[in-house]
């Protein structure tokens, strides 16, 4: 499996179609805010690039998109709109010209990935589960937006998804802003209602840059049940915990809160879990749209550092549930056999590719998936180009479209389902 950036996919798709794509460098004179001059383009006739899009790839306006309203062969002049940000911005700038707007490519790639799904998909590994923990999205891998984590809600403090120095997984939760807390959503609180009257211990792996700022709190219908000790501050991740016995009444009032006592601190939360009685069913992560492929469990030998004794496969089945309107999900996973409480649990599944929006964004793809995505993106580009009135050779584009479609279908015929085994991380 290798990484492919948006830039690599875009350029590969462009090479497949080879339709009026030009790469050049502007001269040092003759440029204005609405004119780019490249004498090397004088070999093309007047009007050749009219109706195309020009994107500088260096200089102040790098990455911006300009529409070519006219092209003159005399000096190799591109007349563009809107105006550049300065009179000398185009001087010696590298650029590319395409018959389609380059800023449309990310959406065309994303559309291609959806067209090819499930033949092209990403493997998802979520090891934030525990055989005793009823919490879902305890590892903060599921987000409905950059500021809303599935199953969690922030009070007063500001919640944001973070990808900076994440210890495990793809994302973590970050709390900034005013003093407040991160607690459970209403649907998540209902899922822990079976803990009524029981003594439970909650753990959270957190990082706080301020001493005496971050700690855990258990809340029920009577108010605060217990509050844990503070994080020590600084640059070290710590496992915080709190233990308490929940009330037997109004279980929908149960809450687990990660407190933020300072308005100037930053708190990162990597995972939260509950130690309680052994559970048999767990919510399937929404990100695993294609379903669960494997489940592994491991005995924990050092809770403070997530050290465990190696992953072992576990028997399971997925139960199809109702399509609820809340965030509890539609499927649950049932563990089969005698698996003890308090084991670390990893779920492996597949889902659609993430959307690539920036040139450096990456997707994990094998060679076959890369070729398929590039072909489908090229097909989408051709479709977009053919719908543009400035396309000059519809017959040639139609023939190219047919050839690329045949090649895509040939490859699709040899795509197989993923092998039953996946690479597992080494013991920690």
Question: DSSP letters of 122-168?
Answer: EEEEEEEEETT---SSTT---EEETTEETTEEEEEEEEEEE-TT-SS
Residues 115 and 171 in one domain: no
Instruction: Judge if 45 and 159 occupy the same domain.
Output: no
Rounded Cα gap, residues 255 and 226, in angstroms: 11
Boundary-marking domain end, from 333, 351, 369: 351
Same domain for 147 and 267, yes or no, is: yes
Q: 64, 98, 132 — which closes off a domain?
A: 98
Please give the structure tokens belonging to residue 244: 């308490």
Could you tell me which residues are beta bridge partners of residue 176?
Answer: 158
pLDDT of residue 426: 40
263 and 384 assigned to the same domain: no
With H, G, I as helix, E, B as strand and everything else as coil, classify residue 116. Answer: helix
pLDDT of residue 352: 83
H or E segment to which residue 363 belongs? strand 362-365
Query: Do residue 300 and residue 158 come from a single domain?
Result: yes
Last residue of a domain, one of 46, 64, 98: 98
Please give the pLDDT value at position 395: 78
Query: pLDDT value at position 392?
Result: 52
Q: Are residues 271 and 398 in the same domain?
A: no
Decide if 265 contacts 214 (C-beta within 8 A): yes
Bond prior to 91 in cis (omega within 30° of 0) = no
- For 358, the domain range is 1-19+102-121+353-428
Q: Which two tokens stand for residue 3?
A: 């990484």
Query: What string of pLDDT tens digits covers the 428 residues of the chain?
Result: 567 888 788 778 878 876 567 889 999 999 999 999 999 999 999 999 998 999 998 999 998 999 999 999 999 999 999 999 998 999 999 998 988 787 788 888 888 988 888 888 888 888 888 898 989 899 998 888 889 999 999 999 999 999 888 887 789 999 999 999 999 998 888 888 888 898 889 999 999 999 999 999 999 988 999 999 999 988 889 999 999 999 988 877 899 999 999 999 999 999 999 987 788 888 888 878 777 889 999 988 776 666 677 889 999 998 875 444 333 446 888 999 888 888 889 999 888 887 887 767 788 888 888 889 999 998 888 887 665 544 456 777 788 888 888 888 888 875 444 444 434 444 43
277 torsion bin: left (phi>0), alpha (psi -120 to 50), beta (else): beta
| Residues 107 and 253 grouped into a single domain | no
Residues 256 and 272 reside in one and the same domain: yes
Contact 235, 224 (CB under 8 A): no
Q: Output the pLDDT for position 305.
A: 62
Which residue in 179, 203, 202, 148 sits closest to 266, CA to CA? 179
Tokens of 30: 């003759």
What tokens does 295 get?
């489940």
Helix, strand, coil abundance in the chain, percent, nearest 5? 20, 35, 45
- Give the domain CATH number at 227: 2.60.120.260
What CA–CA distance (Å, rounded) separates 388 from 52?
A: 10
Burial class (CB in 10 A: 0-12, 13-18, 19+), 71: buried
Asked if residues 46 and 71 have their Cβ atoms less than 8 Å apart, the reply is yes
Instruction: Report the DSSP beta bridge partners of residue 56.
Output: 95
Q: 239 with 256, same domain?
A: yes
CB 207 within 8 A of CB 258: no
- Tell me, yes or no, whether 43 and 180 share the same domain: no
Beta-strand relationship, 255-260 and 172-184: antiparallel
pLDDT of 210: 92
Same domain, 127 and 117: no
pLDDT at position 418 is 45
Q: Which residues on adjacent β-strands are paired with residue 318?
A: 333
Checking phi first, is residue 261 left (phi over 0); if not, alpha (psi -120 to 50) or beta? alpha
Quick one: pLDDT at residue 306? Answer: 63
Instruction: Pull the structure tokens for residue 386.
Output: 């053919």
Both 48 and 194 in one domain: the answer is no
Which CATH number characterizes residue 43's domain?
Answer: 2.40.10
Give me the number of domains the chain comprises: 3
């Amino acid at each position: 499996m290798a990484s492919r950036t948006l830039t690599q996919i875009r350029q590969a798709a462009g090479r497949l179609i080879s339709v009026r794509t030009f790469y050049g460098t502007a001269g040092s004179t003759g440029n204005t805010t609405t004119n780019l001059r490249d004498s090397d383009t004088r070999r093309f006739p007047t009007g050749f690039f009219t109706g195309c899009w020009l994107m500088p790839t260096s200089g102040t306006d790098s990455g911006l998109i300009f529409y070519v309203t006219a092209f003159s062969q005399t000096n190799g002049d591109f007349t563009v709109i809107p105006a550049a940000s300065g009179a000398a911005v185009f001087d010696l700038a590298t650029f590319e010209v395409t018959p389609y707007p380059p800023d449309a490519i990310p959406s065309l790639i994303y559309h291609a990935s959806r067209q090819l799904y499930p033949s092209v998909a990403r493997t998802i590994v979520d090891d934030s589960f525990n055989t005793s923990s009823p919490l879902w999205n305890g590892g903060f891998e599921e987000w409905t937006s950059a500021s809303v984590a599935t199953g969690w809600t922030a009070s007063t403090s500001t919640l944001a998804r973070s990808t900076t120095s994440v210890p495990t997984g793809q994302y973590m939760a970050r709390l900034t802003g005013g003093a407040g807390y991160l607690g459970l959503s209403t649907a998540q609180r209902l899922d822990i209602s079976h803990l009524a009257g029981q003594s439970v211990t909650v753990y959270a792996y957190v990082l706080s840059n301020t001493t005496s700022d971050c700690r855990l709190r258990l809340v029920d219908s009577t108010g605060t049940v217990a509050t844990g000790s503070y994080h020590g501050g600084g640059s070290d991740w710590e496992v915080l915990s709190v233990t308490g016995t929940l009330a037997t009444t109004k279980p929908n009032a149960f809450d687990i809160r990660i407190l933020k006592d300072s308005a100037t601190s930053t708190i990162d939360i990597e995972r939260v879990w509950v130690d309680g009685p052994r559970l048999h069913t767990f919510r399937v992560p929404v990100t695993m749209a294609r379903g669960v492929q494997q489940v592994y469990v491991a005995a924990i030998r050092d809770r403070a550092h997530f050290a465990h004794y190696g992953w072992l496969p576990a028997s399971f089945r997925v139960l199809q549930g109702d399509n609820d309107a809340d965030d509890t999900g539609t499927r649950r996973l049932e563990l089969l056999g005698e698996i003890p409480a308090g084991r670390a649990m990893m779920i492996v599944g597949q889902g659609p590719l993430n959307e690539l929006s920036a040139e450096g964004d990456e997707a994990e793809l094998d060679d076959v998936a890369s070729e398929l995505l590039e072909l489908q993106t090229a097909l989408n580009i051709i479709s977009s180009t053919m719908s543009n009135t400035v396309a000059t050779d519809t017959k040639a584009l139609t023939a190219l479209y047919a050839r690329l479609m045949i090649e895509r279908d040939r490859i699709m015929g040899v795509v197989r389902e993923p092998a039953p085994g996946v690479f597992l991380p080494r013991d920690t």
